Amino acid sequence: MRALRIPAAYSAVYFAVVVIYFTYAADVVSRGLPAAAVPALYAAIGVTGTVGVATGAVARRLGSPRVAALCLVTVAAAPALLGLAGDSPAATAASACVFGAGYMTGSAVLAVWTAELVPDRASAAFTGCLVVGAAASVAAPALAGAVIPGLGLGTLLVLTAAVSLLSGVVLMLHRTSRRGSAAETGR
């Protein structure tokens, strides 16, 4: 479906970034922080992720594409913080908090967005985008694992953040340039 090209692209980037964060965050945190830091990281992600319950209301106000773009920008901060300052308890805590909010909202907005674009086949549209995300979730850690020996984990996390940030900016610009097209924007 042509209407799902942009949400599918979002899904690929979003899930790739999320799975890289989940795959490597514990490795970074366990290297220089106390053992309790890893469970605290995941607890912070869960607690801050509860903001995702407001996704529908925020999407109605701002538009689903804009919320998706903001989620990519928000999620980008998490691997950047770990890649640049993973040995800092403050940076680790900030990373987890930012990630939780962006992660849960980013998942929810995909469901809202696909339902807006294809209301008569919302579950099929959402599932199609999830399949794209699942493929990215398999490919991303394999690619990451292949390049870590040459780049280092910190650099990989920063590059992952850059991909997410740039994708969020492109999505925001795409949405702005096509403001009048309901088929592409969901508004």
In the prediction, which pLDDT does 121 show?
95
Tell me the pTM.
Answer: 0.90
Domain ranges across the chain: 2-180
- The DSSP annotation for 145-164 comes to HHHHHHH-HHHHHHHHHHHH
**Amino acid (1-letter code) at residue 145:** G
* Average pLDDT per block of 10 residues along the chain, 187 residues long: 92 98 89 84 94 96 96 97 90 94 97 96 96 98 96 96 98 71 47
| Topology, domain 2-180 | Growth Hormone; Chain: A; (1.20.1250)
The pLDDT, as a whole number, for residue 34 is 84
Can you read off the two tokens belonging to residue 83?
């890649």
**Cβ(106)–Cβ(50) below 8 Å:** no
Token output for 153: 């984990």
Confidence at residue 43, expressed as pLDDT on a 0 to 100 scale: 94
Tell me, what's the pLDDT at 175?
64
